[in-house]
Amino acid sequence: MIEGVLIGARLALMLDLALLMGLPLFWRVMGMAGRGGLLVALALGGMALSALWLFASVAAMTGVSILSPDWPTAVILLTMTPIGPVLAVRGGALLLALLFAAASRPRLTAIPAAVAAATLAWTGHAGATEAMAGTIHRVADVAHIWAAAGWIGALAVLLHAIFTLRPTTAETARVAAMLSRFALMGTLIVATLVVSGTINGVMIVGLAQLPDLVGSLYGWLLGAKLALFALMLGLAAVNRWRLTPALESGTPQRAIAHLRLSLLIETSAAIAIIGLVAWLGTLDPMG
């Protein structure tokens, strides 16, 4: 029960911070105005979910209910471990993001949001790696987090655009242009995810220990994550090379229906991957 709450808190927090960074980043790339109110809600959500994650972590460590926290343990985590400084940096970044969003500067929100998202690297396996290897691991993890946030934000905007799309020439041309312009950004995102994910995998497991993952829970979850990532790549390729050109044709109705299904599946796969990452972060790879 407690472990499930911890995984759920990690999932919700990762998704919240990914959207807080990814939405304004995609709006900036697309030249869109953005919605400050949504970012205000995400910044506030990031603060609340960070507190929930802290209490869930304390509950998982002590075995007590999250509804009656072990305050001495919470104080120890905040004052004698890296969790305190990490949460302080995240809280400051979220506050700055909140101020930017409330001041109707939503695209600037991406900068402090990127800092807040980067702090996730210090609360997982990368945070436990020491010396120079730890620095390399955390740099790769931050790159992985930022790339994933860019993809999540783009999917959210594109999903909204395609589900609210009216089949008129002007509207379909606008959405098709968004999909086409995302192609270069998507290529950079995928390349970053592949390189940084490979580094993370080697740092966490080690090349010599890879065979030990076969049959383990960690190995199965990692395999599921990679399978879902491959599914997302396949759907992105179909969107880029088949459905977007079809949307630009004279009869886009069928392309719209296929794009809605494709983007819905791709977004669901992305959320499932974040859920798997949240679960993997609580496991010992060699356990």
pLDDT the model gives residue 208: 63
Name the one residue in this structure whose structure tokens are 């009656």.
Answer: 68
Quote the crossing angle between the two packed helices 71-80 and 83-102, to the nearest 10°: 90
Task: Give the pLDDT confidence of 34-45 residue by residue, as tens digits.
Answer: 888 999 999 999
pLDDT the model gives residue 287: 61
CB 189 within 8 Å of CB 147:
yes
Quote the crossing angle between the two packed helices 110-118 and 131-163, to the nearest 10°: 130
pLDDT the model gives residue 251: 65
Terminal Cα distance for the chain, rounded: 20
pLDDT the model gives residue 252: 77
Hey, is 94 helix, strand or coil? Answer: helix
Give the H or E element holding residue 273: helix 253-280
Portion of the chain with pLDDT greater than 70, in percent:
95
Q: Which of 170, 121, 154 is nearest to 239 (CA)?
A: 154
CB 255 within 8 Å of CB 241:
no
pLDDT the model gives residue 250: 62
Task: Give the pLDDT confidence of 227-259 residue by residue, as tens digits.
Answer: 999 999 999 999 888 888 888 776 678 888 999
Distance CA 244, CA 238 (A): 8
Q: Which of 94, 89, 1 is nearest to 39 (CA)?
A: 94
Give the Å distances, CA to CA, from 123 to 14, 86, 141, 254: 11, 8, 11, 44
Portion of the chain with pLDDT greater than 90, in percent:
56
Mean predicted confidence (pLDDT) in 260-264: 95
Task: Give the pLDDT confidence of 120-161 residue by residue, as tens digits.
Answer: 999 877 666 777 877 888 999 999 999 999 999 999 999 999
pLDDT tops 90 at residue 286 = no
Is this model's pTM higher than 0.75 or not? Answer: yes
Give the Å distances, CA to CA, from 184 to 78, 178, 188, 237: 41, 11, 6, 12
Task: Give the pLDDT confidence of 51-68 residue by residue, as tens digits.
Answer: 999 999 999 888 888 888
SS3 content of the chain, % helix, strand, coil (to 5): 85, 0, 15
